[in-house]
Amino acid sequence: MDAHLAVRARGITKCFGDVVALDDVDLDVAPGRIHGLAGPNGAGKTTLLGLLLGLAVADGGGLRILGSPAGRAFAAPDGVAGFVDGPGLYPALTARQNLAALAALRGRDARTAGIDEVLDQVGLTDVADDRARGFSLGMRQRLGLAAALLTRPRLLVLDEPSNGLDPAGKRHVHGVLTRLAADGTGVVLSSHRMDDLEALCSDVTILATGRVVFSGPLGKLAAENGELDYRVRTSDVNAARRLAAGTAGIRVVDGTGAPHDVEALVVRGLVPALDELVARLVQSDIAVRELAPVVSPLEAAFLALTERQETGR
Ligand SMILES: Nc1ncnc2c1ncn2[C@@H]1O[C@H](COP(=O)(O)OP(=O)(O)OP(=O)(O)O)[C@@H](O)[C@H]1O
């Protein structure tokens, strides 16, 4: 019944000597969805992406890519493109020549392979005839994405594609991935940035020390939060602190720690207690000038889940 999935992984295990990089990992990626992989350093994200790209073979478990069992060929399965640990490029060739060489390797005519189109999509038209050797990290990432696009993949696998991207580069890359997904391609990408995942992904899997600690829609992750820290800026920080300390369900954590932010208060609590605090501030004629989570609800959920796993709680 899951034959339509772009990725269906069940109970995947992968070890490097004594290190268990992946431990009983399940992953479902539907066509047309952008699925984020998050987790602390060493959690197993790159290892999992490498398995999807055919760069390594799992020690145990079942992996189906685009409906077929993952082979043991150490090559990207048909319809799959992407990169881990940065794209492989020819430094002495220009961006355009790199893409032409890749097209030729696949037996395609460079003139009809769509090189100009993919360069335009990733925003590299202006540097198309510059050598890749001089490219910044963000430009190399974009050229790697252009190379993947040339193959018109049905599954795109990217390890930290936003690394090194400036805001314009990020806009190009996000636009490309969103359009690909809208056309039915499944996308799996890793990122350390919750704001990127939030901007791009419909689903997310969080790994911690090789195990899945959350997998599902992004909205569900944000909703898993308990108490959050909120920054509250008011017209009278001392009066606000006294009121907060006397409000049931609210703990005053401290200032934000930022030297310019002495006027802000940080409180911890659930939303209903926070509502009560705001009502009491207003009743006391204290103006509320700002009220915002100190870290995004997603980031807070991520930290709680991964810390829980690492401390064994
Ligand atoms: N080729 C390898 N040989 C030995 N150990 C490896 C190898 N590749 C990965 N590991 C180990 O497997 C674990 C998972 O590594 P992996 O690179 O998949 O994590 P990651 O989540 O991608 O980390 P990061 O966020 O730092 O990129 C780590 O403990 C790592 O040291």
Give per-residue pLDDT as tens, 128-156. Answer: 999 999 999 999 999 999 999 998 899 99
Instruction: Of 287, 286, 303, give the one whose Cα is nearest residue 295.
Output: 303
- Indicate whether 215 pLDDT > 90: yes
Using one digit for the tens of pLDDT, what is the confidence trace for 169-181?
888 899 999 999 9
Mark 178-211 as b/e (b = at least 16 C-beta within 10 Å): eebbeeebbbbbbbebbebbbebbebbbbbbbbb
Probe residue for ligand 1, chosen from 46, 207, 209, 309 as the CB with the greatest number of ligand atoms within 8 Å: 46
For ligand 1, atom 1: residue with the closest CA: 16
Q: pLDDT averaged over the chain?
A: 88
128 lines ligand 1 (CB under 6 A): no
Q: Is the ipTM of this complex over 0.90?
A: yes
pLDDT at 68: 87
Strand pairing class (7-16; 19-29): antiparallel
- The tokens of 82 are what? 């992407």
pTM of the prediction? 0.84
pLDDT at 211: 95
47 lines ligand 1 (CB under 6 A): yes
Q: Using the mean position of ligand 1's atoms as its centre, give its distance from the Cα of residue 41 in Å.
A: 8
Strand pairing class (19-29; 80-83): unpaired
Q: Using the mean position of ligand 1's atoms as its centre, give its distance from the Cα of residue 224 in Å.
A: 28
Asked whether this chain's domains 7-223 and 228-310 adopt the same fold, the reply is no
pLDDT at 260: 57
Probe residue for ligand 1, chosen from 18, 23, 45, 160 as the CB with the greatest number of ligand atoms within 8 Å: 45
Q: Does domain 7-223 have CATH number 3.90.480.20?
A: no
User: If you search the block for the tokens 């069940």, which residue do you land on?
Assistant: 10
* Mean pLDDT within 188-209: 92
Instruction: Of 160, 146, 8, give the one whose Cα is nearest residue 77.
Output: 8
42 lines ligand 1 (CB under 6 A): yes
- Indicate whether 311 pLDDT > 80: no
Q: What CATH number should be reported for the domain whose range is 228-310?
A: 3.30.70
pLDDT at 71: 67
Atom of ligand 1 nearest to the CA of 47: 18
* Mean pLDDT within 30-51: 95
Backbone phi, then psi, for 138, in 5-degree steps?
Answer: -65, -40
User: If you search the block for the tokens 């696009």, which residue do you land on?
Assistant: 149
**Which of the pair, 123 or 72, is modelled with greater confidence?**
123
Q: What percent of the chain has pLDDT over 90?
A: 63
Q: Using the mean position of ligand 1's atoms as its centre, give its distance from the Cα of residue 45 in Å.
A: 8
Instruction: Of 289, 287, 251, give the one whose Cα is nearest residue 270.
Output: 251
Probe residue for ligand 1, chosen from 14, 23, 47 as the CB with the greatest number of ligand atoms within 8 Å: 47
Instruction: Of 270, 249, 215, 268, give the one whose Cα is nearest residue 33.
Output: 215
Which range has the top average pLDDT, 2-11, 17-26, 210-219?
17-26
Atom of ligand 1 nearest to the CA of 210: 14
Q: Using the mean position of ligand 1's atoms as its centre, give its distance from the Cα of residue 128 in Å.
A: 34
- Indicate whether 1 pLDDT > 50: no
pLDDT at 188: 97
Q: Using the mean position of ligand 1's atoms as its centre, give its distance from the Cα of residue 19 in Å.
A: 9
Using one digit for the tens of pLDDT, what is the confidence trace for 100-129?
998 888 777 766 778 999 999 999 999 999
Q: Using the mean position of ligand 1's atoms as its centre, give its distance from the Cα of residue 281 in Å.
A: 49
Mark 38-53 as b/e (b = at least 16 C-beta within 10 Å): bbbeebbbbbbbbbbb
Atom of ligand 1 nearest to the CA of 37: 21
For ligand 1, atom 30: residue with the closest CA: 42
Identify the weakest region by mean pLDDT among 37-51, 188-202, 206-220, 256-270: 256-270
Q: Map out the domains of the chain as residue ranges.
A: 7-223, 228-310
pLDDT at 184: 95
- The tokens of 123 are what? 């925003």
pLDDT at 312: 58
- Indicate whether 295 pLDDT > 90: no
Q: Using the mean position of ligand 1's atoms as its centre, give its distance from the Cα of residue 100 in Å.
A: 32
